[in-house]
């Protein structure tokens, strides 16, 4: 019951406006001393902070933050967002699509919500503000896209959850792919529908600012985008070894040959303009804005997916690649490099201190026995399997407010496994439900750490607007959770197709 009171006081303190990190630490000390003594809570705090500092995965946070800052300093992402807006200059809400596209890539690359939201905020907010986009919808798009890191493989949480549920991690990875793509598509559809209903939310460029294109604009778009997709496909196949053995050095020469074909074909079309067809200058900007950062992210992600590097090592590759790109674009100066390091330090401290504080608060909450009390209360009811699962999902959703996913996955979920097995509930499906549920909790006020990560890098945005933006996408997230709950095949089809039932 002390834990219940602690949650109530925490919600009140955050509503009043106290800083969340110091509030969590203070309440953890006070209620922990009340519940099980001051000496124990002191050692618990020391242990939790020490565990956070020794967590190797969290070393990826400053590396990915540095990567995002260097890409922003080099103007790569600003160039990409500008070119996408030009490419879709006749489409409302083009930058929302760009944010969700980039967020899906970073979700796969990082798996860390704080780093994803922070990088997206650094890269996208400035361009969106200048383009006159709606702050609430922009904040909701960034925070919702950033939370995809919990779900889209290779998710750190799924790696931890596999042994807990005694389910192969590969099954969880396969089961998470379709729900992750579905949620990203739902976000994009919502943003585009809102812009269609209210054009001021994501304005198109005025006619005088739209790029000069040929009368075959959609042919231009199809050829350029298809060529880029083929290029990345050849690069991935080359890295994976699929192109080996065709002829000597085929894994390297085939992608280079395709790039040469793209280059000389563009020069020929520009010179001859067959039937009045030509490539607009915007496609050069689009290519130069898309390919370098996408290749950088693909390189960092590929090093993880192909087993060449851990997430932290992959982040190191990404940070080094961003530094190289900044040098290649001649944007690196000693002053800019110093400012990037200083900003990386500030943002990393904000994120990691929040993680340490929430872990300590969660440890006190668990040590007080409140999760066990709630679980025993649930199991005492005589309900159907569906109703028990609904109540469990509601419980996890509520616990996701004050707690990190670590205590929920490692403390709450193991307590529930015997009941799930007795009710014959598929544990792979349950794991995806938990992942989507905890993703929803990241968007749920009043805690919603995603809001504080975004506020930390975009201070000009009001926290109230960020909250309102997140709540819109939280509703979409709940709809997605309901769909996966009602149709388990959304999560189970791919692993059954790959590995069999």
For 95-117, write each residue's pLDDT tens digit.
888 888 777 776 665 556 666 78
Question: Highest mean pLDDT: which of 90-99, 155-164, 422-431, 479-488?
Answer: 479-488
Question: 359 pLDDT exceeds 80?
Answer: no
Peptide bond into 475 cis (omega under 30): no
Tokens of 233: 């496909």
Rounded Cα distance between 81 and 38, Å, is 52
Rounded Cα distance between 19 and 367, Å, is 24
Alpha-carbon distances, residue 341 vs 38, 101, 292 (angstroms): 38, 27, 22
Cα angle 90, 467, 108 (rounded to 5 degrees) comes to: 65
pLDDT attached to residue 375: 65
Closest CA to 176 of 408, 414, 487, 484: 484
pLDDT attached to residue 408: 75
Alpha-carbon distances, residue 213 vs 77, 223, 260, 265 (angstroms): 23, 14, 24, 18
User: In the chain, what are the domain boundaries?
Assistant: 213-279
Q: Average pLDDT, stretch 469-490?
A: 91
Q: Average pLDDT, stretch 287-304?
A: 70
Q: What is the pLDDT of residues 18-48, one digit of tens each?
A: 777 788 888 888 888 888 888 888 888 888 8
pLDDT attached to residue 329: 80
247-251, 296-300, 341-345: the lowest-pLDDT one? 296-300
User: Phi/psi at 19 (nearest 5 deg)?
Assistant: -60, 135
Contact between 269 and 278 under an 8 Å Cβ cutoff? The reply is yes
Q: Average pLDDT, stretch 144-171?
A: 78
Q: For the whole model, what pTM was predicted? A: 0.69
């Amino acid at each position: 019951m002390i834990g219940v009171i602690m949650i109530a006081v925490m919600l009140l303190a955050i509503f009043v406006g106290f800083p969340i990190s110091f509030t969590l630490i203070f309440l953890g000390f006070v209620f922990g001393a009340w519940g099980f003594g001051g000496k124990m809570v002191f050692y618990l705090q020391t242990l939790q902070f020490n565990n956070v500092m020794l967590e190797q995965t969290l070393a990826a946070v400053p590396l990915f933050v540095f990567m995002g800052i260097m890409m922003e300093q080099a103007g790569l992402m600003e160039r990409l967002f500008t070119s996408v807006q030009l490419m879709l200059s006749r489409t409302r809400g083009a930058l929302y699509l760009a944010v969700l596209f980039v967020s899906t890539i970073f979700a796969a690359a990082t798996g860390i919500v704080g780093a994803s939201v922070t990088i997206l905020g650094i890269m996208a907010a400035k361009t969106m503000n200048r383009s006159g986009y709606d702050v609430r919808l922009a904040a909701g798009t960034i925070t919702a896209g950033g939370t995809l890191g919990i779900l889209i493989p290779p998710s750190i949480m799924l790696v931890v959850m596999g042994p807990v549920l005694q389910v192969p991690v590969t099954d969880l990875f396969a089961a998470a792919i379709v729900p992750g793509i579905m949620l990203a598509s739902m976000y994009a559809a919502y943003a585009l529908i809102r812009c269609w209903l209210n054009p001021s939310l994501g304005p198109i460029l005025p006619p005088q600012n739209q790029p000069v294109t040929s009368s075959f604009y959609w042919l231009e778009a199809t050829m350029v985008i298809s060529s880029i997709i083929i290029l990345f496909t050849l690069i991935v196949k080359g890295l994976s070894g699929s192109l080996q053995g065709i002829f000597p050095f085929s894994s390297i020469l085939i992608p280079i040959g395709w790039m040469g074909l793209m280059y000389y074909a563009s020069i020929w079309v520009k010179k001859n303009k067959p039937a009045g067809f030509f490539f607009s200058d915007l496609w050069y900007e689009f290519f130069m804005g898309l390919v370098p950062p996408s290749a950088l992210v693909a390189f960092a992600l590929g090093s993880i997916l192909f087993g060449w590097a851990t997430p932290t090592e992959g982040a190191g590759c990404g940070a080094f690649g961003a530094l190289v790109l900044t040098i290649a674009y001649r944007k690196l100066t000693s002053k800019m490099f110093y400012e990037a390091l200083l900003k990386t330090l500030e943002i990393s401290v904000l994120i990691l201190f929040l993680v340490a504080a929430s872990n300590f608060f969660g440890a006190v909450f668990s040590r007080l026995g409140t999760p066990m009390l709630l679980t025993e209360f649930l199991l005492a009811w005589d309900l159907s399997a569906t109703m028990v699962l609904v109540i469990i999902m509601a419980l996890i959703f509520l616990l996701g407010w004050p707690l990190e996913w670590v205590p929920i996955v490692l403390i709450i979920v193991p307590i529930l496994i015997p009941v799930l097995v007795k009710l014959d509930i598929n544990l792979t499906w349950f794991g995806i439900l938990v992942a989507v549920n905890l993703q929803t909790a990241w968007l749920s006020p009043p805690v919603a750490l995603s809001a504080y990560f975004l506020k930390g890098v975009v201070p000009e945005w009001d926290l109230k607007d960020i909250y309102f933006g997140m709540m819109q996408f939280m509703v979409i997230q709940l709809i997605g959770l309901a769909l996966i709950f009602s149709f388990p095949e959304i999560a189970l089809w791919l692993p059954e197709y790959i590995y069999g039932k």
